[in-house]
């Protein structure tokens, strides 16, 4: 008879990661429209992009009635100086409470328990869970001791998770989770996971690569079943990450390795319909996905630079539309280029709200000349700009020129 797997109680407002195929946290690629796109095609849960604790602290929560979104904004820092009173606020995080609120996990970059708690409290009432990033290998994260840097300081990571469980998870009745990478040896990974599952977290995601490994290197799943077993002993859900391609592939891997859930990253960035099972239609043509994505972007008035970035992931590089999109500078131009006439009026409206010129920013006019040079020798510059009079018109013959050239050559030597 199979042993019943222990389960940590799921908080009232939290989520159970078991049986879920979810969207991975991805910087730039994990912004609001991308999460809505993944949910549209069947993702069970979505992770937001890593947001650093210090970036969140000091933000103001604002509800936007037009887009039905919540946005946390702040004025930019300028070397520790107070920004000007009229400085435009930057959006740090945006979410759609109706369409993703109960399925959104806020991922945080942190290396300090106090700062982690302070930042998490700002969003805890609006999301379904808080996840600590202990797996990002990028320099911007690791050099501050965040991300995969926390794997080298497990006691610090444990203190962060305990503080979040006690002061945020319990108070707001949501789950706290962590995302890690495997270590060099199974023994090291086992020791780390046992410490983490004892902190009160409800979920642990393991990326099946070591910190030095990059996405082009195949995931290593040799330690996966061991990690899943340790999680189950503690009642914690185990989610796998690394080379998961589609929902059907995810479910097969979950069954093979005994994990509770699976996370899709790169394949979701290229075509979010990978969350749709084959029985429901499977992976959709890129044009369908792009149109759905554009509509989501315009729904929430997404910053065009971010929209364009993901469009260049969704449109296959060999398609002629790829280069055309790369040159677009507005929603209007993208819709015109893709032949989406039914979205043009809406695109113009969004461009207008975002203060985007449909034709793109105007190029500055070329100056007539270098003012400094002209001031120093204006007449000479003017003379050089005039067409030269032919030698024949000046009464000079070819034979008269040769001695001058010879003399010049002698001086140069």
Residues marked as catalytic: 136
Give 346-355's long-range contacts (Cβ < 8 A, gap of 24+): 346/298, 347/298, 350/298, 350/301, 353/301, 354/301, 354/303, 354/304
Instruction: Please state the separation of Cα 205 from the chain's center in Å.
Output: 18
Nearest CA-CA partner of 150 in 185, 191, 178: 178
Other residues' Cβ atoms within 10 Å of the Cβ of residue 48 = 25
Coil, strand or helix at 106 = strand
Where on the phi/psi map is residue 235: left (φ > 0), alpha (ψ -120 to 50), or beta?
A: left
Dihedral (Cα; 176, 182, 186, 190), 10-degree rounding: -10
| 386 CB burial (10 A radius; 0-12, 13-18, 19+) | exposed
Contact status, residue 362 vs residue 332, Cβ threshold 8 Å: no
Alpha helix segments (H runs only) across 41-104? 53-56, 97-100
Contact status, residue 341 vs residue 347, Cβ threshold 8 Å: no
Helix-then-strand count for the chain, H and E: 18, 12
Nearest CA-CA partner of 97 in 59, 127, 136: 127
- Give the whole-angstrom CA distance, residue 123 versus residue 128: 10
Phi–psi pair at 391, nearest 5 degrees: -60, -40
- DSSP 8-class letter at 10: P
- Give the whole-angstrom CA distance, residue 336 versus residue 295: 14
Nearest CA-CA partner of 12 in 162, 202, 192: 202
- Give the whole-angstrom CA distance, residue 339 versus residue 319: 15
- Give the whole-angstrom CA distance, residue 176 versus residue 127: 11
Q: Which two tokens stand for residue 246?
A: 């589609």
């Amino acid at each position: 008879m199979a042993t019943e797997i222990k389960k940590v109680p799921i908080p009232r407002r939290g989520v159970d990661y078991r049986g879920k195929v979810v969207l991975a946290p991805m910087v730039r690629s994990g912004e609001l429209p991308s999460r809505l796109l993944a949910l549209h095609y069947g993702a069970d849960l979505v992770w937001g992009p890593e947001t650093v604790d210090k970036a969140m602290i000091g933000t103001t929560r604002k509800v936007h009635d037009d887009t039905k979104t919540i946005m946390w904004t702040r004025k930019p820092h300028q070397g520790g100086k107070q920004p000007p009173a009229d400085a435009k606020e930057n959006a740090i995080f945006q979410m759609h409470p109706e369409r993703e609120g109960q399925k959104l996990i806020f991922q945080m970059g942190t290396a300090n328990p106090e700062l982690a708690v302070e930042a998490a409290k700002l969003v805890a009432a609006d999301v379904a869970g808080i996840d600590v990033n202990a797996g990002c290998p990028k320099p911007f994260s690791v050099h501050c001791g965040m991300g995969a840097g926390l794997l080298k300081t497990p006691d610090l990571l444990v203190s962060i998770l305990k503080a979040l469980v006690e002061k945020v998870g319990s108070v707001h009745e949501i789950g706290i989770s962590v995302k890690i990478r495997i270590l060099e040896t199974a023994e090291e990974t086992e020791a780390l996971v046992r410490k983490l599952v004892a902190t009160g977290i409800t979920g642990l995601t393991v990326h099946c690569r070591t910190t030095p490994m990059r996405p082009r290197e195949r995931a290593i799943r040799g330690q996966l079943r061991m990690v899943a077993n340790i999680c189950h002993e503690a009642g914690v859900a185990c989610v796998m990450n690394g080379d998961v391609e589609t929902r059907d592939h995810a479910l097969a891997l979950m069954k093979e390795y005994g994990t509770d859930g699976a996370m899709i990253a790169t394949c979701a960035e290229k075509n979010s319909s990978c969350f749709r099972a084959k029985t429901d239609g499977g992976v959709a043509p890129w044009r369908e996905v792009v149109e759905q994505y554009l509509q989501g972007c315009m729904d929430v008035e997404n910053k065009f630079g971010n929209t364009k970035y993901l469009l260049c992931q969704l449109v296959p590089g060999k398609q002629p539309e790829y280069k055309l999109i790369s040159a677009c500078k507005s929603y209007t131009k993208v819709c015109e280029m893709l032949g989406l006439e039914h979205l043009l009026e809406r695109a113009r409206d969004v461009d207008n709200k975002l203060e985007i010129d449909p034709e793109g920013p105007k190029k500055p006019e070329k100056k007539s000349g270098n003012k400094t040079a002209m001031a120093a020798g204006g007449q000479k510059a003017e003379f050089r700009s005039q067409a030269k009079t032919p030698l024949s018109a000046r009464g000079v013959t070819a034979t008269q020129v040769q001695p001058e050239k010879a003399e010049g050559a002698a001086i140069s030597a």
